[in-house]
């Protein structure tokens, strides 16, 4: 007998798969799908994005009328800082006994989609067409999905399970985001003998960061400086300093204004510190917004109700592979799957939620079939 969803999840979670090293998990997913009688195609995205695995695509041809759907989950996790030993506690919660991440993000989704696929085939469950996509390097910028040629998909409607919240949450929108790399160039000098001859790049960067509005700026907008590096020695006025910043907003115009405000503050600080400043701003991902009466949302809402969950609608402050597909004109909804405290040593998910998302997947298939 194939493993049930909990056993399958534990098996997948125990395989470390930091971004760029998804090979073992990709091979296990491929083996599983071939074991239930499906073919799997792997593209060359791995070579493009620096991973040892590409995107995996498997297809079940329709056996009934309705709306074809695609299901997408990512194979990578944030890098674990130790072993991963999934255990089930007395309350039915799956945790890592080894003190690092569990990997529910996103292997809980991988396991639920695979188990639902097995049951659809075993029960000859009628469906309108199902495509399964598994991507690498999501955690470092949605890179696998971005490198995927989505013309290979037939479905225009899809779902990811990548929201750390109770089952029932339906994400109607995710923010637009830009990243910013900033480099201050000062002038080196001996800090004890000739400090007046130096121009501190660290002081200039610190002034810029102090002037930036960071954190939650309003209900739609956030900004952060997450990394800073500079200098060469404690007795040298630092010649250079770099920092990485980001800004997100559900309002694209508001994001553009915030980025300009940040650039102005950085330029002003550079002038005060007599430093040259280089800035590079890049789009991280495109935001999106659904209405509740959009087809993809209606299918999700009806499926959740059929599976015994009350739909709740909200926005996300983060991104998922759904951002990539929505930018390309494929309506992809992010559904919560019950994972908790992701990216931390206390990451966990309940057995009930793992099994519940299998039922939600089956309900999505049934609801899409009836959406003709």
DSSP character string of 85-142:
-EEE-TTSEEEETTSS---HHHHHHHHHHHHHHHHHHHTT---S-EEEEEES--TTTS
For residue 117, what are its two tokens? 């696929």
Mark whether 138 is an active-site residue. Answer: yes
Q: Is 197 exposed, middle or buried (0-12, 13-18, 19+ CB in 10 A)?
A: exposed
Helices (H) and strands (E) in the chain, counts: 10, 19
Report the distance separating Cα 34 and Cα 275, nearest Å. 59
Query: Omega of the bond prior to 361 within 30 degrees of 0, cis?
Result: no
- The DSSP letter of residue 232 is S
Which residue among 21, 22, 76, 220 is the active-site one?
76
Q: Which residues of 41-51 are buried (b: 16+ CB within 10 A; e: fewer)?
A: eebebbeebeb
Which residue among 138, 139, 220, 347 is the active-site one?
138
Task: Yes or no: say if 159 and 112 are a contact pair by the CB < 8 Å rule.
Answer: no
Alpha-carbon distance values, 77 to 12, 136, 303 (Å): 11, 9, 28
Question: Do β-strands 288-289 and 215-218 pair in parallel, antiparallel, or remain unpaired?
Answer: unpaired
Nearest alpha carbon to residue 69 among 338, 327, 289, 295: 295
Q: Is 212 exposed, middle or buried (0-12, 13-18, 19+ CB in 10 A)?
A: buried
DSSP character string of 57-88:
EEEE--SSSS--EEEEEE---SPPSS---EEE
Sign of CA dihedral 278, 283, 284, 289: positive
Query: Looking at the annotation, which residues are catalytic?
Result: 76, 138
């Amino acid at each position: 007998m194939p493993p049930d969803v909990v056993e399958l999840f534990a098996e997948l979670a125990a395989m470390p798969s930091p971004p760029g090293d998804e090979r073992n998990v990709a091979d296990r997913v491929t083996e599983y799908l071939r074991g239930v009688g499906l073919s799997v195609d792997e593209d060359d995205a791995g070579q493009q994005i620096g991973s040892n695995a590409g995107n995996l695509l498997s297809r079940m041809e329709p056996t009934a009328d309705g709306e074809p759907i695609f299901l997408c989950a990512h194979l990578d996790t944030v890098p674990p800082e130790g072993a991963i030993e999934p255990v089930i506690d007395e309350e039915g919660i799956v945790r890592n006994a080894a003190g690092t991440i569990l990997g529910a993000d996103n292997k809980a989704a991988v396991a639920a989609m695979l188990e639902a696929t097995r049951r659809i085939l075993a029960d000859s469950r009628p469906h309108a067409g199902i495509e399964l996509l598994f991507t690498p390097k999501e955690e470092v910028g949605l890179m696998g999905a971005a490198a995927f040629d989505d013309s290979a998909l037939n479905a225009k409607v899809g779902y990811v399970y990548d929201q750390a919240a109770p089952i029932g949450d339906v994400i109607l929108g995710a923010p637009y985001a830009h990243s910013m790399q900033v480099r201050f160039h000062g002038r080196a000098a001996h800090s004890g003998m000739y400090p007046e001859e130096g121009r501190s790049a660290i002081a200039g960067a610190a002034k810029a960061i102090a002037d930036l509005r960071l954190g939650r700026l309003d209900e739609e907008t956030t900004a952060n400086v997450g990394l800073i590096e500079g200098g060469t020695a404690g007795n040298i006025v630092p010649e250079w300093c770099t920092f990485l910043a980001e800004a997100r907003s559900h309002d694209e115009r508001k994001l553009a204004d915030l980025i300009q405000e940040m650039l102005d503050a950085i330029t002003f600080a550079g002038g005060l510190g007599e430093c040259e400043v280089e800035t590079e701003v890049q789009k991280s991902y495109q935001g999106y917004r659904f209405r509740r009466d959009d087809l993809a949302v209606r299918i999700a809402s009806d499926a959740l109700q059929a599976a015994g969950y009350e739909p709740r609608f909200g926005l996300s402050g983060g991104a998922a592979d759904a951002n990539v597909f929505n930018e390309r004109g494929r309506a992809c909804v992010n559904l919560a799957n019950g994972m908790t405290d992701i990216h931390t040593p206390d990451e966990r998910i309940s057995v009930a939620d793992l099994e519940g998302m299998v039922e939600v997947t089956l309900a999505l298939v049934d609801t899409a079939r009836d959406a003709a």
